Structure 1
Amino acid sequence: MKVYHSNNFKIGRKIVFDNEPYIIDSSEFVKPGKGQAFVRLKLRKFSTQQLIEKTFKSTDVLEQANVTEHTAFYLYNDGNFWFFIKNHTFEELLVEKKIIGSNKKWLLEQDQCSIILWNDQVISVEPNTFVKLEVINTTKFHKNNNVNNSTKLVELSTGAIVKVPIFIQIGEFIKIDTRSGEYVSRTK
């Protein structure tokens, strides 16, 4: 298996740490006035998106993770398993509910998404960065002291609850940023 030396700990590299696949979010080489140089990394775990910070000596090496990303379409779910089909090979993938996690609120049938595999096992499902969802329910608006920042809660077609401006009505489609879960704009 390929390994990375500390001088090759670059942002975006996929590595194995504590027998789990991670991606390097940031890398900082530090050469103190006294003592050995080291590298400070921020690592994001693929399966949970948890961010950790670790320090490595300049002599340390990390194993490259055999992580692949595939584009797939979400087909349906039966409550416990979610079914996807790869775009190019038409291979069907079965994904457990726990792997989908909170991303289920951004997936509609026939939506395209990214499937992350590690050693041929699905470890993460990532929806598109922006999704278009229908508002199916809304709460009553309670006027705030600040009129320019008035929002209300709405329920979307996937069951997600999002804060939106007060002018959004039931039946409208809105654009949501799946990374933050925030309203972006109205769409048609």
Structure 2
Amino acid sequence: MKTAHEIRPGNVIMLDSKPWVVLKTETTRSGRNAAIVKLKLKNVLLDSTTETTFKGEDKLDDIILERLDCTYSYFADPMYVFMDSEYNQYDVEAENLGDAAAYIVDGIEDICQVTFYEGKAISVELPTTVIREVIYTEPSARGDTSGKVMKPATIAGNSTLSVADFVKTGDFIEIDTRTNEFKKRV
């Protein structure tokens, strides 16, 4: 069992005796109350989606499923194709990737874990951090040195996130895939 705040996109949990793939997690912390975790889930069997909310310390049944280390191969609309070390290919639906799809681009060599349920590839879990190139960001604002200054940047795959003010177009940055946050320039 895992607590709700330990659940990550790509995990498979049991709710009402049905398996659900976690597509997105959002944790909200407030000063007085306990953390609240909002999960976007997709039913593995019925292809239906739902959103639900848990307290951070609520226990959820995390299903231990077969997982294989794979690398991204190519995109065949609407499937992402991953390949294992023995050159077997596995198709994963684009909507099952959730937020992870923003970090899957051609030419990456990241080792992902493909999760299987009853022989079918149902989700992909990315490594904790990935390194991507900044495709575009505005130049730094002169004289703005007060505190932690952030600005928007577009990375490979056309997703946008906030980066530190010193990051320039063409830099490679490390991103935490659990929180979608900039960690450091590489």
Structure-2-length-normalised TM-score: 0.66
Cα distance in 2 for partners of 1:129, 1:151 equals 22
Shift of the 144–82 alpha-carbon distance from structure 1 to 2, 3 Å rule, reads farther
The root-mean-square deviation of aligned C-alpha atoms, in Å, is 3.6
User: Does structure 1 conserve the Cα–Cα contact (< 8 Å) formed by 2:102 and 2:158?
Assistant: yes
Structure 2 counterpart of 1:185, one-letter code: K
Cα distance in 1 for partners of 2:146, 2:58 equals 47
Structure 2 counterpart of 1:21, one-letter code: P
- Which structure ranks higher in relative contact order (CA pairs < 8 Å, sequence separation ≥ 6)? 2
How far the C-alpha of 1:96 sits from its partner, in A, is 1.1
How far the C-alpha of 1:55 sits from its partner, in A, is 8.5
How far the C-alpha of 1:139 sits from its partner, in A, is 3.1
Shift of the 77–161 alpha-carbon distance from structure 1 to 2, 3 Å rule, reads same
Match of 1:136 in 2: 135
Cα distance in 2 for partners of 1:157, 1:132 equals 10
How far the C-alpha of 1:19 sits from its partner, in A, is 3.9
How far the C-alpha of 1:154 sits from its partner, in A, is 0.4
> Between Structure 1 and Structure 2, how many residues are aligned?
153
Q: Is 1:104 matched with 2:101? A: yes
Matching residue within 72, 80, 89 for 1:82: 80
Cα distance in 2 for partners of 1:158, 1:101 equals 14
User: Does structure 1 conserve the Cα–Cα contact (< 8 Å) formed by 2:151 and 2:163?
Assistant: yes
Alignment of 1:18-97 (within 5 A): 18-21=16-19, 47=42, 52=54, 65=63, 67-87=65-85, 89-97=86-94
SS in 1 for 2:169: coil
Match of 1:122 in 2: 121
User: Does structure 1 conserve the Cα–Cα contact (< 8 Å) formed by 2:92 and 2:123?
Assistant: no
Match of 1:29 in 2: none
SS in 2 for 1:169: coil
Structure 2 counterpart of 1:17, one-letter code: L
Sequence identity (%): 23
How far the C-alpha of 1:141 sits from its partner, in A, is 5.0
User: Does structure 1 conserve the Cα–Cα contact (< 8 Å) formed by 2:130 and 2:175?
Assistant: yes
Structure 2 counterpart of 1:104, one-letter code: A
How far the C-alpha of 1:120 sits from its partner, in A, is 1.4
SS in 2 for 1:101: helix
SS in 1 for 2:92: strand
Q: Is 1:149 matched with 2:164? A: no
SS in 2 for 1:116: strand
Question: Which structure 2 segments of 5+ residues have no match?
Answer: 4-11, 22-36, 43-48
Cα distance in 2 for partners of 1:95, 1:46 equals 16
User: Does structure 2 conserve the Cα–Cα contact (< 8 Å) formed by 1:133 and 1:176?
Assistant: yes
Shift of the 15–169 alpha-carbon distance from structure 1 to 2, 3 Å rule, reads closer
Cα distance in 1 for partners of 2:17, 2:143 equals 50
Q: CA offsets, 1:134-169, max 9 Å, x none?
A: 001013556898711211000001212111111100
